[in-house]
Amino acid sequence: MKRYLFILFVLCNLAVFAKSFTYYGTFIRGTDGQMYYAYARSFLLDFDLNFKNEFHELTPYPEKIHGTLSRVEETKTGHLKNKYPIGYGVATIPFFLIAHIATKLINIFLENGIEENGYTVIYDTVCSFGHLIYSLLGLYFCYKFLKKFFREKIVVLALLSVWFGTALLYYASIFNMMAHACGFFCISFLFYLSYCSKDDFFAKQIDFYMISFLCGLCVIIRPTNIIFLTYPFYLILKNILTIRQTRRLPVAVLVTGGLLFLSVISLQFLAWKAIYGSFFKYTYENEGFNFLKPQFTATLFSIKHGFLTCHPIAFLSLAGLLYGVVKRAGQGEPYIFMALLVLHGYILSSWWCPSFGDSFGARNFIEPSIITAFGLCLFYTYVCKHVKINIALSMSAAALNLVLLYKYMFG
Question: Which tens digit of pLDDT belongs to each residue from 377-398?
Answer: 999 999 988 889 999 999 999 9
CA 363 to chain centre: 10
pLDDT, residue 71, reads 60
Q: Please give the Cα distance from 79 to 114 (Å, whole number).
A: 28
Q: How many CB atoms lie within 10 A of CB 183?
A: 28
pLDDT at 247: 82
Structure confidence by residue, pLDDT tens digits, 263-320? 999 999 999 999 999 999 999 988 999 999 999 999 999 888 899 998 999 999 999 9
Q: Is 5 inside a domain boundary?
A: no
SS3 81: coil
Q: Which residues of 241-254 are buried (b: 16+ CB within 10 A; e: fewer)?
A: eeeeeeeeebeeeb
Please indicate, yes or no, if residue 2 is contained in any of the structural domains.
Answer: no
Residue 102's nearest CA partner among 135, 124, 86, 133 is 124
**For residue 80, what are the β-bridge partners?**
74
Q: Is residue 186 part of a domain?
A: yes
Distance of CA 137 to the CA centre of its chain: 12
Label residues 36-47 b or e (16+ Cβ within 10 Å = b): bbbbbbbbebee
What is the rounded distance in angstroms from the CA atom of residue 363 to the CA atom of residue 273?
30
Q: What is the pLDDT of residue 59?
A: 85
Q: What is the mean pLDDT of residues 200-227?
A: 94
Range(s) of the domain holding residue 131 = 24-403
What integer pLDDT is reported at residue 208 of this predicted model?
Answer: 95
Least confident of 151-155, 221-225, 242-246, 276-280: 242-246
In a domain, 3, yes or no: no
Confidence of residue 230 (pLDDT cuts 50, 70, 90): very high
166, part of any domain: yes
d(CA 127, CA 93): 8
Residue 70 banded pLDDT, cuts 50, 70, 90: very low
| Model pTM score | 0.94
Place 243 in a pLDDT band, splitting at 50, 70 and 90: confident
Q: Would you mind telling me the total number of residues written for the chain in this entry?
A: 411
Question: In the prediction, which pLDDT does 67 show?
Answer: 55
pLDDT of residue 379: 95
Task: Evaluate whether residue 11 is within a structural domain.
Answer: no
In-domain check, residue 339:
yes
- Examine residue 9 and state whether it is found in any structural domain, yes or no: no
Structural domains in the chain (count): 1
Residue 113, pLDDT > 90, answer no
